[in-house]
A and B are shown apart, each in its own frame.
Chain A
Amino acid sequence: MEAIAARPAVSCCRSAVAAGTGPRRLLLNTTSAGARQKSSSARTRRALNIPPHQSFLGFNSGSDGATRPTSDEIIFNPPSSAPSVFHTPFKFLPPSDPRRRANLASELFASSTHNPSSTSPLSSASASEATPSPEDLPLAGGVPPLKPRHHLTKEDIEEMRRLRAEDPVKNSVLNLSRQFQCSKLFVLMCCQAPKEHREKIKSELEQVKARWGPRRRAAREERHRRFAMLFNGEL
């Protein structure tokens, strides 16, 4: 019989962090209170002498308590690592791919099949707490773009262009995007400022850049170069 425990260490860590059951909390309290320091080698050794992980136990709990796995058991407990790009996400599989059919049930009924299969109420609760839905996770790098509403007509865009050409200082991109309730990118796509205004902005920027010292300039160049390296896959 083959028994494969897929990444149990992750769920264990999650339960340790999220659940915080009785004995664990007690242990944490004693250590944080600093009642017993690891001042001697014996105490250090005793503190580091922790039992093996659950995934290494329990497969073959014989009468003598031997925890050695038999030959037909596979312990799959890989260290945490970056996911491989050669593992195609489910969403990227084409409809004709057999993996799509094989994974469809587990993808569709993931929530319904997960809870009955879990053995103890503690682990199910911890798993549901530890694997939050993607919506609960904080955003990284700004707000996601809004869905385009397509509410502007051709007349609106003509009006926007007229305003921008009339007074590019007063009718800035930000003001126009507020006025027409669209994104700044859309304003930039629609209209272009007069040439003298663009040149004025450009010369102002040049003046600002001229005031930069060597450190700021080098830092910006380095940041730029680092991004280029990242895009080439060198970082």
Chain B
Amino acid sequence: MKRLRLDRWTGQLLVARPGPCSAATPRAALRSAAMCRCTTVRNQSTAAVPQIPQEDDYYDGTDHTRFSPLEKLPPRATSLPSPPPERALQSAKLAALHARLSLPEKVPLQTLARALVDASADENPQFNNTNLAFVGHTLINYHVGEWLMCRYPRLPMEVLYAAIKGYAGPTALHHVARSWGVEHAAAPGGEVDPGLLQFSMHKPGEAITVFGYKRAEYEGLKKHHWRHGISSRVVFDNDFGEIVHTEEEEEQMRARADTEYGNEYTRTLAEAAYATCARAVVGAIYAHTGREAAKAFIKAHILSRTLDLSRLFSFKKPTRELSLLCAREDFEPPVARLLSETGRMSRTPVFVVGIFSGKDKLGEAAAASLEHARAKAAMNALKSWYLYSPGEHVRVPSDMLAEDARPWEPAYIDIGEIIGR
């Protein structure tokens, strides 16, 4: 285990450490929190704590003789929506998470603690992770998008959207955050361990972390299932090609308070909170250590995941699409030929059909009937067209931002999809 060297950390909270009322030590943190316990204004930096005359201790109604506190809390901690930043230095969970992720030493524990506070737990944007998550969301989607564009330049837009969602969507990031060992508190509050993810099931969180426009025809889309093509999805919808529906979201937020414990909706909320946390960690790394470290982190934790792109495809008329492709590219028209077969008259026949264009075989598949084999072979041929890749270690545009980058060679760009969807 690597030793954490507190003296080499940077951060807003640690700048004023030598001062008399800084929170570099737990005792100092307690003292400074005690000093600001009766103020309504919360300060992000303890260096800016105003000098308040001492008053009587705040009583939050807990019977401390029966329920003795696990650790000594700052007096007003229970009345705060999220743990005060100075408590981050005391949390073993937070230090363990920092070490486990091998975060750079420049990322302070206080920022990591802030990345774990969802907007639903603390509405104050100076104390929750909304801003960090916005930066992280942008960075993750940019890197995933450019990597997919360069690695698989012929992907249809729908499959590209699905692939971006598979890498950077809320479900994937939820799994990433879980794999980091992030655990969540049962309920948010100032007294919980800062190393726990905090989100509320009952309070709405006003966190805007996605791009996208509200569609004027949203009612018609919802009611009459109007067609909305891929081009309008590129313009209007969010990064995953999904309609931004703010009103429905607000309704769900309002209904949040009434949901019972542990249903599908609360699981969605937890998933979103975990995803926001993962994005906020990326945003924190970018804010403290810069572009290269954030890119390396995204590559290590998000792009390294395995996603089988060949399973994202869905076709309507594969044979027709393939013949259109061959006509567009001036290939000979595709012909399905039977490569081998067994048990034609039996209960379980197998036909192996290959699709040829001239003398070249484009695709091959085995199925239990001739029609299925033909359609499957056409699908395989189309998939091998769409999944063309220039190479495994393809260069992406953000590689050029490095200091000693080689001159850029233009990436392969396909002329477009075969049929509009």
Contacts and interface: CB of A to CB of B under 8 A. Distances in A.
Instruction: Decide whether A and B assemble into one complex.
Output: yes
Interface of A: 82-83, 85-94, 96-97, 133-134, 137-141, 144-145, 147, 226-227, 230-233, 235
A45 B260 CA distance: 67
B388 A230 contact: no
A88 B388 contact: yes
Contacts of B8: none
B236 to A, nearest CB: 26
A233 B313 contact: yes
* Residue of A97, A139, A226, A230 with most chain B CB atoms under a 10 A cut-off: A230
Contact of A85 (B331, B351, B372, B387): B387
A82 B331 contact: no
B316 interface: yes
Contacts of A90: 360
Contacts of B374: 140-141
For the residues of B in contact with A, the DSSP-based class is: mixed
Interface string B307-322: 0001101111010000
B376 interface: yes
B331 A145 contact: no
25 contacts: A82-B365, A82-B366, A83-B364, A85-B383, A85-B387, A86-B310, A89-B361, A89-B381, A89-B384, A90-B360, A91-B360, A92-B385, A94-B412, A137-B339, A139-B336, A139-B338, A145-B323, A227-B372, A230-B367, A230-B376, A231-B316, A231-B318, A231-B375, A232-B314, A233-B311
A104 to B, nearest CB: 13
Contacts of B383: 85
Interface in B372-407: 372-376, 379-381, 383-385, 387-390
Contacts of B360: 89-91
A233 B376 CA distance: 9
A140 B412 contact: no
Contact of B387 (A86, A96, A226): A86
Interface residues of B, number: 48
A169 B271 CA distance: 62
Contact of A91 (B357, B365, B372): B357
Nearest to B356: A134
Q: Which of A91, A94, A97, A133 neighbours the largest number of chain B CB atoms within 10 Å of its CB? A: A91
Interface in B185-234: none
B106 interface: no
Given A147-B333, A231-B315, 15 more contacts: A85-B363, A85-B380, A89-B360, A92-B388, A93-B388, A139-B335, A140-B336, A140-B374, A141-B336, A141-B371, A230-B367, A231-B314, A231-B318, A231-B375, A235-B372
B365 A140 contact: no
Q: Is the contact region of chain A dominated by helix, strand, or loop, or is it mixed?
A: loop
A91 B331 CA distance: 8
Please give me the 6 A-B residue pairs with the lowest Cβ-Cβ distance, nearest first: A137-B337, A85-B383, A140-B338, A134-B356, A140-B336, A91-B360
A90 B356 CA distance: 12
Contacts of A82: 364-366
Contacts of A226: 372
Contact of B310 (A85, A92, A144): A85
B362 interface: yes
A92 B366 contact: no
B253 interface: no
A203 to B, nearest CB: 28
A147 B332 CA distance: 10
A57 to B, nearest CB: 28
A134 B338 contact: no
Nearest to A94: B412
B54 to A, nearest CB: 69
B163 to A, nearest CB: 14
A179 to B, nearest CB: 25
A235 B362 CA distance: 20
Given A91-B331, A140-B351, A85 B384 contact: yes
A141 B360 CA distance: 19
A147 B247 CA distance: 54
Indicate the member of B318, B336, B337, B375 with the most A CB atoms within 10 Å: B337
Contacts of B336: 139-141
Nearest to A97: B390
Given A82-B364, A92-B362, A87 B339 contact: no
Nearest to A142: B336
Contacts of A227: 372, 375
Given A85-B383, A86-B384, A86-B389, A230 B314 contact: no
A183 B380 CA distance: 28
Contacts of A137: 337-339, 354
A227 B315 CA distance: 11
A86 B336 CA distance: 20
A66 to B, nearest CB: 37
B64 interface: no
Contacts of B357: 91
Contacts of B315: 231
